[in-house]
Structure 1
């Protein structure tokens, strides 16, 4: 179980690191766009991402991960 948690955390860090390494100016633009969004829209976006993440984890677990 802990191995899966480390794998998931490692994959998240790889994806985040790639974004900052390959397109730092795009990350800055994204942060500016997020600052311009109302708080409720950011909260809804975050909850949507959370729900999609849970679905992905559920699918991975049903496939045997």
Structure 2
């Protein structure tokens, strides 16, 4: 793979990747769905990329 790393793009996975067993990643839709007990939250990565990284930093610390 030939690419240039973007140091401004945060990685949101703070836990070990395989510990997120109830997380669904839909690459085609750009959605990340996380489930805990009966609660579910969806992140639309494509929409989130439209905002400056300063606003995203707060979400990265959850």
Q: Which TM class, normalised by the smaller chain length?
A: 0.3 to 0.5
Q: Which structure dedicates a bigger proportion of its chain to helix?
A: 1
Q: Which structure dedicates a bigger proportion of its chain to strand?
A: 2
**Which structure has the larger Rg?**
1
- Structure ranking higher on relative contact order (CA contacts 8 Å, 6+ apart): 2
TM-score for the superposition, normalised by structure 1: 0.38
TM-score for the superposition, normalised by structure 2: 0.39
